[in-house]
Amino acid sequence: MGLAVFSSDALSSVAYATEAILSILILKSATSVGYQVPLTLGIVGLILIIAISYNQTIHAYPSGGGSYSVASENLGKWPGLIAGGALLVDYILTVSVSVAAGCAAIVSAVPSLHSYLVPMAVLCVAILAWANLRGVKESGAAFAIPTYGFVMSVLALLIVGMVQAMSGSLPAQANPQVIGSVGIDHHHGLYFLLARAFAAGCTALTGIEAVSNGVQAFRQPESKNASITLRWMVILLSVMFLGIGLLANHLPTLKLLPAADKEYRTLLAQIAAQIFGDKTVMFYVLQYATAAILVLAANTAFADFPRLASLLARDGYLPRPMARQGDRLVFHNGILVLAGLGGLLIVIFKGELDLLLPLYAVGVFTAFTLSQSGMVVHWLRHREKNWKYALCVNATGAFLSFVVLCIIAVTKFAEGAWIILIAVPLIVFGFHQINRRYGAISRQLAIQPGEKVDDHPHLSILLVPRVHRGILQGLEYARQLKGEVQAVHVIVNDKTVPQVRRDWDRYAPDVPLVVLSSPYRSLIEPVIDYVDELRRENRDSIITVIVAEAVATKPWHKLLQENVAMQIKTALSLRPNIIVSSVRYFLE
Amino acid sequence: MGLAVFSSDALSSVAYATEAILSILILKSATSVGYQVPLTLGIVGLILIIAISYNQTIHAYPSGGGSYSVASENLGKWPGLIAGGALLVDYILTVSVSVAAGCAAIVSAVPSLHSYLVPMAVLCVAILAWANLRGVKESGAAFAIPTYGFVMSVLALLIVGMVQAMSGSLPAQANPQVIGSVGIDHHHGLYFLLARAFAAGCTALTGIEAVSNGVQAFRQPESKNASITLRWMVILLSVMFLGIGLLANHLPTLKLLPAADKEYRTLLAQIAAQIFGDKTVMFYVLQYATAAILVLAANTAFADFPRLASLLARDGYLPRPMARQGDRLVFHNGILVLAGLGGLLIVIFKGELDLLLPLYAVGVFTAFTLSQSGMVVHWLRHREKNWKYALCVNATGAFLSFVVLCIIAVTKFAEGAWIILIAVPLIVFGFHQINRRYGAISRQLAIQPGEKVDDHPHLSILLVPRVHRGILQGLEYARQLKGEVQAVHVIVNDKTVPQVRRDWDRYAPDVPLVVLSSPYRSLIEPVIDYVDELRRENRDSIITVIVAEAVATKPWHKLLQENVAMQIKTALSLRPNIIVSSVRYFLE
């Protein structure tokens, strides 16, 4: 079950990583496509090393070792913030990439939906946002079915493909034909192209850190269970990625077209069509399972984004209210920001994975590098059992992550990585500014030595439009306040003044009634003026303005009431030492 | 000056009334156009009688005798409400008709603007609304220039026209030619057609009641000055209306086209073009003066509508807050409703005066009839000096108004008067429903015999996110409240709890600190739960929740703060006996 919850992001990446490698290799020439299998093997090696590296994080941080926490704890503020910023960006891209890839899987199964690719993807983001706003009950089955469905379908594909290859029913080709319509790019040498293809394939590593972030969520012993889950995840990921890579290398004629092309089909769909047969049940099962796990992967970002934002807010790098994930208003804002930006990227890049993926891996490997480097410092500081071995493993992980990050940043720079290389520093600058502001506030609010709770005199005024039950409640509340109480009536209708005076003398003869004229028939202005007068006369006093307000229950009844307290509060908002309290009475 | 302020609505109506008569007469045949002068004479007679009738209202109600006040005081609730509803509708139509006619005058001067007629009119309404929202300083000159400019221009037109006619330079024609493009209508007899034309010409009477509504605004002796103003207004109105009617009857070839037609020109513009010469200075002066007085007439509705709404609200027939014209929020709503509906009518009827005018006169004559009938009852009740004569005058006025109302309602029914005949009763029903609801509220809030101000125990809780100066202010306020005080800290960040406890014990050892856990990292929910717990334990208590809140002055700083008090208030809004008070502290 742990596998189902934490691995959708990682496992789903096999749906697009092989295609990403091939679509770069095809740029050079059809023959360079032969490098796909060696590159895939290299990436699988990288997966294993990074996974072993993260396995150590699991044991070192049993309470959850996200990149932000590990980096800021061990490397200090700035690396932590860079990791945090990179991850926030990455969660947004997880939404865009996964939803776009999921819709691509559906379009591959049902080509007539092709022209609706972008609207479908945006709708999907909107549905995810809506479900998360409402609060989805995260049942295990909701995770297990798409994840295991996808794993089973891909494994079935690999097995059937292998059997066919061995039985000779697949035409064994020395040089498989991959046909691309992107146009051949002779600008760069072969090595640069291989580096680009490698960088493209590294998107397979996204999501690999999820288990180490969520160690807390496992059953006891947490670290051990998390470690087992990570192992299985890596095995499945490697097998599927390698298997798809080998199949792609063996199959005749695969066509790589841009998503905008009407005949566009994902590589995985083309492989499935050739092995299971086009439009067979298994073909459809694989496509829908692919779409399902990708949507699930996008959904994990909706949980991770507010969680990371909350950690950053707790440390004062994002608005403090965001720390309170549990508050609907706050949580809603996070979800809406994520969905808005994720959807925007899909629209801007027209749902083309080729355009979105170059943005994706930069953030992931930034976080990897910082997290693994943090672990190196961790071992240097803590020197637990086997620390030297552990240090070597993490150092290797950190070094490889950094090398890959550089490869990605350089080879993908022009393709879109520059956007991330600008965005992350800007975000980090934003964190810093927010933190500075909180620092300034903290200094302003610091209690000076010897400072005590003041004891200013207190004065309350109760607004009396006319005398009724609600006003008596307001009067009762006024009497709960220490100090002088005054009742204030503003003349809106001259005829009713004598009645108000009579009633007031009858029910509250002990409280003086101040009657204020209102030449322009305003209620708010005379009250403000009177409060200002009181403030001049009682310089040190705290003044409470009590407003009795009706609470209507039916919507059209609400139109007949109004929020006077709010208006007075707004009008008085820049004057200190004034409190506006509304005493509510209920109407049927 | 009084003339300038109160007569723009009445005087400006000569800009369209003659055209309205002719455009009906042309429906039958070109020869029936000859009835225009007799009809104009009849309407001038009506103007004189109604004016004499209103002159008596001026003396009887020196404090201002609007139709709503006179009708409800003398005839009772329902006639008053009908007059009120009819007038509200009429103010909306004044905006639509005057602005549409004003734009028609401009289009007549600058034909290239023709295709922008409707957008121009809507823009004009928007500008009027904006100016009134901002609060225009109503200087005398702003009224005097357009009004006297218009009167002078029209009188000049009449004099030049008369001189030309007498000197023979105008071709004297036995049968003037009016050419219409509306198509000849043989369905009805001549009498019905004459009645329709008469009804159309009665739009000249709109605005005649303005002086009697505003007697208060005149210098002492108010009634006498108002009476003089009314006399001059009626003389000018009659002379101009009759003069334009005679000129229209004498001029060769006038073309009446619908406003949508590209060659559309108002009748007044055509007369001016023939007498002053097309595109002469005086022609343009007249056109712009016409536009100016019409916009001024529309502007008077922006003052009258909120004033009448305020009277209705004071009597409980519109939401009570509307009684407070002086409060910006309330006043703004009135202006926006008026501008919105006025603009909407222009858009729906595409700025065609032919379509808007049939709606206009119904409300006016309903109000006339009710107001004059009210005066009849007034004289019966008060029997002052000469009451029998006065009663006869008002009875004549009421009777004639009623007859005209019937003529308008019948002949204009299909043309659009039905809309008003449905809208006014609906509005009156709305008044009644609002009044009923206020009655029900009044009964609920009535203080029962023997009922006294309760004295429930009181309890306050102060939210303490951490201990700082703002919180000490909150604590000071809590101590101004009688009864027990508790401090409440909700754990959003576990690490800071010990610090909060230490600080609290140092600054307020006498106030107990309750620490609430928050499994989902919410601030609001644990507070609500705790308040509910307190309510169960202290059934009768009133509970004040005190929240210390930062007031930020820079906009981006505001993003970092949030209104916790508001959120708690909203969450607790349906629980009685709870007051949420926010104690504000100020940040630099």
Question: Would you call B327 an interface residue with chain A, using a CB distance cutoff of 8 Å?
Answer: yes
CB contact under 8 A, A573 and B557: no
The verdict on B420 and B491 lying in the same domain is no
- A329 at interface of B, judged by CB pairs closer than 8 A: yes
Encoded tokens for A234 = 């890596």
Task: Choose the final residue of a domain: B406, B438, B470.
Answer: B438
Cβ <8 Å between A542 and B477:
yes
pLDDT at A183 > cutoff 60:
no
* Structure confidence at residue A172 (pLDDT): 56
| Residue A138, pLDDT score | 61
Considering the domain boundaries, does residue B445 fall inside one? Answer: no
Are residues B522 and B406 both part of a single domain? no
Would you state the pLDDT for residue B185? 53
CB distance A325–B520 less than 8 Å? yes
pLDDT at A251: 82
User: Which of A132-136, A313-317, A341-345 has the largest mean confidence?
Assistant: A341-345
pLDDT band at A520 (very low <50, low <70, confident <90, very high): confident
Tell me the C-alpha to C-alpha distance, in Å, between residue A517 and each of A549, B127, B135.
22, 33, 21
Q: Would residue B115 count as lying in a domain? A: yes
Tell me, letter by letter, the H, E, C secondary structure of B194-245: HHHHHHHHHHHHCCCCHHHHCHHHCCCCHHHHHHHHHHHHHHHHHHHHHHHH
- In this complex, is the C-beta atom of A559 within 8 Å of any C-beta atom belonging to chain B? yes
Is A444 within a domain? no
Considering the domain architecture, whether residues A32 and A178 belong to the same structural domain is answered as: yes
DSSP A547-579: EEEEE--SHHHHHH---HHHHHHHHTTTSTTEE
- Chain A residues within an 8 Å CB radius of B588: 440, 444
CB pair distance less than 8 Å for B456 and A468: no
Distance to chain A for B441, nearest Cα, Å: 7
**Lowest mean pLDDT: which of A463-467, A474-478, B174-178, B217-221?**
B174-178
Low-confidence ranges of chain B (pLDDT < 70): 1, 29-31, 136-140, 171-188
Shortest CA gap A378–chain B (Å): 21
Cis ω before A221 (30° cut-off from 0): yes
A510 and chain B in contact, CB less than 8 A? no
Residues 6+ apart with CB under 8 A from A285: A149, A153
B59 in contact with A, Cβ within 8 Å? no
Q: Which chain B residues are Cβ-neighbours of A573 within 8 angstroms?
A: 551, 584
Q: What's the pLDDT score for residue B328?
A: 80
Whether residue A448 lies inside any domain: the answer is: no
Residues B430 and B518 in one domain: no
Confidence of residue A186 (pLDDT cuts 50, 70, 90): low
Q: Which of A92-101, A352-361, B217-226 has the highest mean pLDDT?
A: A92-101
Judge whether A382 is closer than 8 Å to chain B, CB to CB: no
Let me know whether B183 and B278 are in one domain: yes
> Does position A334 have pLDDT exceeding 80, yes or no?
yes
Closest CA to A393 of A42, A57, A41, A10: A57
At B333 the pLDDT is 85
| 3-state DSSP assignment of residue A486 | strand
In this predicted model, what pLDDT tens digit does every residue of A567-587 receive, in sequence order?
898 889 889 899 999 999 888
Can you tell me the mean pLDDT for A473-477?
93
Residue A542 near chain B (CB below 8 Å)? yes
Give the model's pLDDT for residue B139.
Answer: 61
Residues of chain A with C-beta less than 8 angstroms from the C-beta of B314: 492-493
Residue of chain A whose Cα is closest to the Cα of B583: A579
- Taking contacts as CB-CB distances below 8 angstroms, the residues of chain A near B583 are 579
Examine the domain organization and report whether B66 and B143 are in the same domain: yes
Specify the 3-state DSSP secondary structure of B384. coil
| Range among A3-7, A190-194, A545-549, B65-69 rated most confident | A545-549
d(CA A201, CA A23): 10
Higher-confidence residue: A449 or A11? Answer: A11
Q: Given this model, what pLDDT does residue B573 score?
A: 86
* Secondary structure class of B138 (helix, strand, coil): coil
Interface check for B557 against chain A (CB to CB < 8 A): the answer is yes
Give contacts of A456 with chain B, Cβ < 8 Å. 476
Residue B225 lies in a domain: yes
- CB contact, 8 Å: B438 with chain A? yes
- Which among B327, B445, B560 has the least Cβ separation from residue A319? B560
Q: Cβ of B479 under 8 Å from any chain A Cβ?
A: yes
CATH number at residue B475: 3.40.50.620
For residues A494 and A392, state if they share a domain: no
Could you report the per-residue pLDDT of B99-110, keeping only the tens digit for each? 999 999 999 999
Asked if residue A64 has pLDDT above 80, the reply is: no
Residue appearing with tokens 């057609």: B193
- Domain shared by A475 and A334, yes or no: no
* Alpha carbon of A325: minimum distance to chain B alpha carbons (Å): 6
CATH (domain of B135)? 1.20.1740.10
For residue A188, is pLDDT > 70?
Answer: no
Sequential DSSP letters for A114-167: GGGHHHHHHHHHHHHHHHHHH-----HHHHHHHHHHHHHHHHHHHHHHHHHHHH
Distance from CA of A583 to the nearest CA of B (A): 6
Contacts of B489 (CB under 8 A, 6+ apart): B463, B464, B465, B497, B500, B504, B513, B514, B515, B516
CB pair distance less than 8 Å for B447 and A507: yes
Q: Do A473 and B481 touch (CB under 8 A)?
A: no
Both A122 and A6 in a single domain?
yes
Query: What ipTM, to 2 d.p.?
Result: 0.80
CA nearest B307 in A: which residue?
A: A521
Beta bridge partners of B485: B460
In a domain, B368, yes or no: yes
Shared domain check, B473 and B419: no
Average pLDDT, chain A: 88
CA distances from B127 to B133, B296, B309, B345 (A): 10, 12, 22, 16
Q: What angle do CA B325, B331, B334 make, to 5 degrees?
A: 115
Confidence category of residue A139, pLDDT binned at 50, 70, 90? low
- For A527-557, what is each residue's pLDDT tens digit? 999 999 999 998 889 999 999 998 887 877 7
Q: pTM, whole model, 2 decimals?
A: 0.78
| CB contact B307 to A (< 8 Å) | no
Contact B447 A453 (CB under 8 A): no
Q: Do the Cβ atoms of B472 and A447 come within 8 Å?
A: yes
- Tell if the CB–CB gap between B525 and A469 is shorter than 8 Å: no
* 3-state SS, one letter per residue, for B249-289: HHCCCEEECCCCCCCCCCHHHHHHHHHCCCCCHHHHHHHHH
d(CA A469, nearest CA chain B) in Å: 5
Match 């566009």 to its residue by tokens.
A264
Confidence of residue A192 (pLDDT cuts 50, 70, 90): confident
Beta carbons of B559 and A446 less than 8 Å apart: no
Domain shared by A491 and A567, yes or no: yes
Tell me which of A435, A466, A487 is where a domain ends: A435
User: Both tokens of residue A540?
Assistant: 């040190």
Q: Is residue A442 domain-resident?
A: no
pLDDT in the model for residue A499: 93
Contact, B443 vs B324, CB < 8 A?
Answer: no
- The answer to whether position B449 is within a domain reads no
* B480/A475 CB distance under 8 A: no
Q: How many domains does chain A have?
A: 2
Say if the Cβ atoms of A492 and B446 lie within 8 Å: no
| Min distance B126 CA to chain A CA atoms (Å) | 24
A188 touches chain B (CB under 8 A): no
pLDDT given at position A167: 84
Residue A189 domain boundaries: 2-435
A418 and A333, same structural domain?
Answer: yes
B296 CA: distance to closest CA in chain A (Å)? 23
Contacts of residue B328 in chain A, CB cutoff 8 Å? 524
Position B140 scores a pLDDT of 64
Cβ distance B472 to A458 less than 8 Å, yes or no, reads no
Helix (H, G, I), strand (E, B) or coil at A377: helix
Question: What pLDDT does A558 receive?
Answer: 77
Q: Does B575 contact chain A (CB < 8 Å)?
A: no
Contact of B321 with chain A, judged by CB distance below 8 Å, is answered with: yes
More confident residue, B137 or A417: A417
Mutate to test the interface with A, among B584, B585, B586 (most CBs of A within 10 A): B584
Task: Please report residues of A whose CB lies closer than 8 A to that of B475.
Answer: 453
Q: How far apart are CA A367 and CA A90, in angstroms?
A: 9
Cβ proximity of B152 and B226 under 8 Å? no
